Chains A and B, each alone.
Chain A
Amino acid sequence: MSAPVVGAPLLLRTSIKHEARSFAPWIAIATVLSASSVLVYPWVFPTEADREGLATLVGSNPALGLIFGPAFDVSTADGFNAWRTLALGGLLTALGAIFVVTKATRGQEDSGQAELLASGVLGRSSRLLTAVAMGLIMSIIVGIVAAVVTLLCGGGTEATLLLCATYTATGWMGTGFAAVTSQLGAEARASSSMAVGVMGVLFILRGFTYSVEAADWALWINPLAWMTETKPAVENNWWPLWLAVALTLVLLVVAFALQARRDFGQGAIAPAPGPARGRARTPLALALKLNRGTLIVWATGFAVLGVVFGYFTTAITDLLAGDSGIGQVLASGAQSPADVFGAFVATVVNLIGIFASIACVQIILRVRKEEMDDRVEPLIATPTSRARYYASNVVVAMGAAVAFLVIAGVIVAGFASSADIGVTYGQAFGQALATIPAVWTVIAVAVAVVGARPKVSIAAWAGVLLSFGLTLLGPTFGLDDWVLAISPFYHVPAVATSTVEWAGLGVVFLVGAALVTVGFAGFRRRDLATT
């Protein structure tokens, strides 16, 4: 064995043993996504007419394409599965791989574990090699488990194998990106944010390029679009997978080259000396300061999202020229154009709202991280009450939600009002404002969990997960209204349509207020985490 990788096999065995549990959620989500579509499809869409109805539904709401990519063929269970899960399953696998790789590299360096390891008989590249191997192996496991379970649930052989192979391939690319960003960032958080940011941008661009039917080159420069081009259940192209493997290899070569040049515990970007005196002198100022980097990145992201989604609203009239579902709905006279476009704008803004809630839930979860890292204790030992400390962070999260929606809303409204779809600037911007209470309520779930039951802090994502699942996937499953109504976004009125109902939003607001109260009561009463 060559010197740089001495000890890697042993380290890998130990790491897998200890970290295997952290693979489980990612494996489970991808598997459930894929297997459930195959299981549910024949049950929800038993007849040919139902399947055509589904195609119309998917076609009539192009906003869905931004997330799921193009629906090549939803008339079979496998085609439906490919549409519904290719983008998400791959993205989730990649996110899992990013977190695994970052934790095993920079995370260990930040916590000091790596120092113990590096002082042992361990080659210079062994830790990175171990981390990369964990990312690659986790992605393979996701693919295999999802494929086996989906096949058992009745998926077609080739389509299922190819679809699940795209999860693995996307996970591999995520591993590659994370291996590179782990060498760049000043700490674990910065490194994983960079990798997640890259995947997020590629993800949105893929949806956008397909939805506006952009030129082919725009697809081929996007590694995630390669996965879509495999077209499982339609064309079953296997060769784009090789592109993903090649990209992974290139990224890994870059990562190992960068790793050889950087100092232990430091990123490629060295931190400058800080100020000798501090200006952050209140809990609120501290919360803003700690989240500043994240807030700026997300705010920029929402400006970009506003442009992408806004431009998309202007392109919608072109899409109508084709024989799309939306054209059929209009031609049948079932709905007025104003209602269709109003609902469309509402869906786009709901998507922005769900993204905003992801960013804000992260801010709340950071409180728990600070607590676990013993950084809350010295603050609470000052005359700062627990309520004030927690409130500062909650205010930042809730305020961020407003800022994100206003930023994206201003831009989307600008595009939508110029698009000749009968939606005014005020209506589109009002839509963004009307979405804020729903986002707040999703954040409130996290406030309640972190405040009252921090041991299950993963449950802070429950609101995001429910909103995402029910708002985007619920309608295609033909779920009853009362189930759909669990998502706070269900109650956001489509401001530009003829039927605007505000009462639901009031209920959503009250539920949110109740959850926040639970969170604060819990935070005041419980023991702080101690180490």
Chain B
Amino acid sequence: MSADEPVIETQGLVKMFGKFKALDGLDLSVAKGEVHGFLGPNGAGKSTTIRVLLGLLKANGGTARLLGGDPWSDVVELHKRLAYVPGDVALWPSMSGGEAIDLLGSLRGGLDDARRAELVERFELDPTKRGRQYSKGNRQKVAIVAALASNVELLILDEPTSGLDPLMENVFQEVLGEAKDRGTTVLLSSHILSEVETLADRLSIIRAGKIVETGTLASMRGKARTTVHATMTRIPVATDLAGLHDVQLDGNKLAATVDANGIGDAMALLTPYGLEALTVAPPSLESLFLRLYENDADAVGTR
């Protein structure tokens, strides 16, 4: 594998479950050393993609390359170089969390004992509890510790923080940041946008088994619109506001969106009406996400 070859690359990936098309020509590319956010709502195909990449499911069409190998046939070699955290961690009911961490770590070729101890400490995990006694968040911690305590090139994380409390989410962000500093490539699937927003270098957004948007956060923000809320002394005439989008006028209160490069024009337009209060919110991933899925709802409606 050469240095500039993507760590993950799929082209036209198709996976059928009976007649249901879970993946419908998915093109995903993750470069070496980046944290790649993999966003989509429930049922969009995130876990299916990850399971194909892990060789748990066999794709019905398209190609997938992982760390320069074939995820289905080179499964053992590839798995030596990656670690995985499932979204819903099932532990062995009568095995303690510590035993599960050591088992998974050993199968992966051993773990870093010092880092294991440090992670157990930072995540405040009690490793002596039995599998069935853990809450959902604590089961998740077991899998996270097991994955991050081994030295791997690639981390595949499927909604890793589901069930974690906000404090532990912060710990997770720190720990993942450290992994990134070590040069680990990360595929981070999530529907929590803020998590991806702080960590990810690039993002792909999946909808109905297809990648609908991919790029850096900055480039996506460029496509999203800035939100403007303004209170004015004079009520503007609606026809004067043609340069703005999504205009909602309630007396002298205005809510609207403007293109990323149109903020100056919008200010010039609004100032004559006498601004009393003004907030300009930068385009969040949230708004981009909602936008993409509003279109989706329209598409469903017209289908």
Contact = CB atoms under 8 A, between A and B. Distances in A.
B102 interface: yes
Contacts of B127: 276-277
Given A110-B93, A530-B47, A278 B99 contact: yes
A283 interface: yes
Interface string B23-35: 0000000000000
B102 A382 contact: no
Nearest to B22: A530
B103 A278 contact: yes
B96 A278 contact: yes
A110 B90 CA distance: 12
B80 A383 contact: yes
B143 A378 contact: yes
Interface in B128-143: 128-130, 132-133, 143
Interface in B91-136: 91-104, 106-109, 127-130, 132-133
A277 B56 contact: no
A378 B57 CA distance: 13
Contacts of A290: 92
A530 B96 contact: no
B269 interface: no
Interface size class of A (residues with CB under 8 A): 35 or more
B172 interface: no
Interface residues of B, number: 46
A50 interface: no
B201 interface: no
Contact of A383 (B94, B108, B129): B108
Given A110-B93, A274-B96, A281 B107 contact: yes
Contacts of B97: 274
Contact of B94 (A271, A277, A281, A382): A271
Contact of A530 (B56, B58, B107): B56
A405 to B, nearest CB: 28
A186 to B, nearest CB: 7
A382 B95 contact: no
B88 A374 contact: yes
Contacts of B51: 377, 528, 530
Nearest to B84: A381
B96 A187 contact: no
Interface in B57-92: 57-58, 75-77, 79-80, 82-84, 86, 88-92
B196 interface: no
Contacts of A265: 132
B interface SS class: mixed
Contact of B128 (A274, A385, A525): A274
Given A271-B130, A281-B107, A383-B76, A530 B57 contact: yes
Contacts of A386: 75
Contacts of B82: 381
Contacts of B98: 274-278
Given A282-B107, A283-B107, A525 B58 contact: yes
* Listed residue (B55, B99, B132) with the most chain A CB atoms within 10 angstroms of its CB: B99
A385 B75 contact: yes
Contacts of B107: 281-283, 379, 382-384
A373 interface: yes
A531 interface: yes
Interface in A357-382: 373-375, 377-382
B109 A383 contact: yes
A194 B102 CA distance: 31
22 contacts: A110-B93, A187-B93, A187-B94, A271-B94, A274-B128, A275-B98, A277-B127, A278-B95, A278-B99, A278-B102, A279-B99, A281-B107, A282-B107, A378-B104, A379-B107, A380-B56, A381-B56, A381-B84, A382-B107, A382-B108, A385-B76, A526-B58
Interface of B: 47-48, 51, 54-58, 75-77, 79-80, 82-84, 86, 88-104, 106-109, 127-130, 132-133, 143, 156
